[in-house]
Amino acid sequence: MAPAKLPTADLPVVDAVVVAAMDEEVAPYTRRGTAIGPAVEAGGAWARPVAVDGVRLYLVRSGIGLVNAAAAATAALGRVRPAALLSTGSAGGLAAGVQVGDVVVGDRYTYASADATAFGYALGQVPGMPVDYPAAGALLAAARRARPPAGTLRVGGMVSGDSFVTATTVADVRSRFPDALSTDMETTALAQVARSYAVPFLSVRGISDLCGPAAGEDFHLGVDQAAERAAAVVLAVLAG
pLDDT at site 95: 87
Residue 134 and residue 105: Cα distance in Å, rounded? 12
> Regarding the domain delimited by 13-239, which CATH topology (the fold level of the hierarchy) does it fall under?
Rossmann fold (3.40.50)
Exposed/middle/buried for residue 211 (C-beta within 10 Å: 0-12, 13-18, 19+) = buried
Residues acting as catalytic residues:
25, 209
Q: Nearest 5°: phi and psi at 113?
A: -110, 0
Contact assessment for residue 29 and residue 55, using Cβ atoms and an 8 Å cutoff? no
pLDDT at site 168: 74
Length of the chain: 240
Q: Quick count: other Cβ atoms within 10 Å of Cβ 130? A: 14
pLDDT at site 215: 46
Residues of the chain with pLDDT under 70: 1-9, 166, 212-219
What are the domain boundaries of the chain?
13-239
- pLDDT, tens digit, for every residue of 199-216? 999 999 999 988 866 545
Contact assessment for residue 68 and residue 62, using Cβ atoms and an 8 Å cutoff? yes
Please write down the long-range contacts of 38-43, taking CB distance under 8 Å and 24 or more positions apart.
Answer: 40/79, 42/75, 43/71, 43/72, 43/75
